[in-house]
């Protein structure tokens, strides 16, 4: 998939005007999920925007209790009803556990894709071996893989898989839950560029081939700043400094 460098993550968003504002500011990739319990909010924000639906890329994720073969279609239709859409552009398996069974879940996702309820099938929070198994059961290539990815937690094996197979890695929590604001390396690099630690963290994420990101923001100021971070270029030495940070923090372990 050809995803914009910066999309909008919506976990925790409760005001549809935030989604509308993001669209008005140029966001075209909107990401939600059943477990966020705000698909209706995202749908209201889309409906209020003065833009053609065809210009947006809307993604949602089936939660782990909607992954049994017989539940995939019902779960997808329920998400579409809440979003007020007749299809999504990208439908993810949120986590490969509980009702997930690759030989049942993935063919069921292929079926809803074939019937036009989604344009693409993606995966989220998979391990390399699980990605390989998924490829054995999906008719179409994996369209995207969404994972936690930031300066304090970046799985090289998952990046390698995305690059080897030519799909985007969609980085969630690119600001490490705000921890990047306190890291001395990142704050020093931000000062050198007269910018914010958030912009540096986003620029570092986007410096990797095949990686896009979906930071959450609610104010127009932060929405603008996150999109503008895509234009910030870090040099090789700055990237190496961030790579060398001796700190590992996974915010959302399995």
Give the tens place of pLDDT for each residue, 130-189: 999 999 999 999 999 999 999 999 999 999 999 999 999 999 999 999 999 999 999 999
CATH of the domain at 71: 3.20.20.100
Provide the residue range defining the domain that includes 42. Answer: 8-178+209-218
Number of domains in the chain: 1
* Active-site residue, selected from the candidate residues 27, 36, 167, 172: 36
With respect to residue 169, please indicate whether it lies within any of the assigned structural domains: yes
Give the tens place of pLDDT for each residue, 10-33: 999 999 999 999 999 999 999 999
HEC sequence for the chain: CCCCCECEECCCCCCHHHHHHHHHCCCCEEECCHHHCCHHHHHHHHHHCCCCHHHCEEEEEECHHHCCCCCHHHHHHHHHHHHCCCCECEEEECCCCCCCCHHHHHHHHHHHHHCCCECCEEEECCCHHHHHHHHHHCCCCCCCEEEECECCECCHHHHHHHHHHCCCEEEECCCHHHHHHHCHHHHHHHHHHCCCHHHHHHHHHHCCCCEEECCECCCHHHHHHHHHHHHCCCCHHHHHHHHCCCCCCCCCCC
Give the tens place of pLDDT for each residue, 60-113: 999 999 999 999 999 999 999 999 999 999 999 999 999 999 999 999 999 999
Give the tens place of pLDDT for each residue, 212-252: 999 999 999 999 999 999 999 999 999 999 999 988 999 99
With respect to residue 253, please indicate whether it lies within any of the assigned structural domains: no
With respect to residue 138, please indicate whether it lies within any of the assigned structural domains: yes
Would you call 27 a catalytic residue per the annotation? no
């Amino acid at each position: 998939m050809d995803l914009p460098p910066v999309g909008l993550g919506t976990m925790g968003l409760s005001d549809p005007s935030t989604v509308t504002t993001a669209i008005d500011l140029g966001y075209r990739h909107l990401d939600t999920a059943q477990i966020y319990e705000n698909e209706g909010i995202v749908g209201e924000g889309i409906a209020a925007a003065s833009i053609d639906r065809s210009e947006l890329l809307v993604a949602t994720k089936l939660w782990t209790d909607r992954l049994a073969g017989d539940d995939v279609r019902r779960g997808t239709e329920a998400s579409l009803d809440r979003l007020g859409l007749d299809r999504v552009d990208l439908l993810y398996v949120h986590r490969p556990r509980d009702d997930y069974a690759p030989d049942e879940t993935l063919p069921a996702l292929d079926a809803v894709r074939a019937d036009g309820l989604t344009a693409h099938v993606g995966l989220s929070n998979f391990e390399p071996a699980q990605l390989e198994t998924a490829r054995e059961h999906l008719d179409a290539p994996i369209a995207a893989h969404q994972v936690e990815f930031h300066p304090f937690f970046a799985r090289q094996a998952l990046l390698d898989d995305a690059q080897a197979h030519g799909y985007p890695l969609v980085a969630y929590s690119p600001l490490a839950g705000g921890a990047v604001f306190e890291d001395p390396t990142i704050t020093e690099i931000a000062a050198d560029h007269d910018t914010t630690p958030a912009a540096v963290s986003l620029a570092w994420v986007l410096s990797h081939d095949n990686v896009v990101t979906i930071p959450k923001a609610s104010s127009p100021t932060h929405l603008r700043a996150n999109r503008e971070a895509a234009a910030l270029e870090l040099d090789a030495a700055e990237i190496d400094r961030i790579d060398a940070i001796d700190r590992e923090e996974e915010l959302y372990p399995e």
